[in-house]
Amino acid sequence: MNRNAKRRTLWWFSGLLLAVPCLANAESLGTPAAFLSGWTAYEQGDYHAAVEYWRPLAEQGHVSSQINLAVMYDHGYGVDQNAQRAAGWYEAAARQNSMIAQYNFGLFLAERRSLSSDGEGALYWLLKAAEQGYADAQYQLGLRYADGAVGETGLADASQWLYRAGLSYLSGDDREGAHAAVAALNTVAPGGELAVELETRLTQWSQSEQPAGSSAV
Sorted by where each begins, the domain ranges of the chain are 1-116, 133-217
Spell out the alpha helix ranges (H) of 1-98: 33-43, 47-59, 63-75, 83-94
119 or 176, greater pLDDT: 176
Mean predicted confidence (pLDDT) in 164-185: 92
Please tell me which residue, 31 or 130, carries the higher pLDDT value. Answer: 130
Given this model, what pLDDT does residue 189 score? Answer: 85
Highest mean pLDDT: which range of 50-64, 171-185, 203-217: 50-64
- Cα–Cα distance between 183 and 189 in angstroms, integer? 10
One CATH from 1.25.40.10, 1.10.3720.10, 3.90.1150.10, 3.40.605.10 for 1-116 = 1.25.40.10
Of 198, 113, 191, 195, nearest to 147 by C-alpha is 113
CATH code reported for the domain at 133-217: 1.25.40
Instruction: State mean pLDDT over 57-77.
Output: 93
**Residue 194 phi, psi (nearest 5):** -70, -40
pLDDT at 17: 61
pLDDT of amino acid 114? 54
Instruction: Supply the mean pLDDT for the chain.
Output: 81
Q: Span 90-109, mean pLDDT?
A: 92
Cβ-contact 180, 163 below 8 angstroms: no
Between 31 and 92, whose confidence is greater?
A: 92
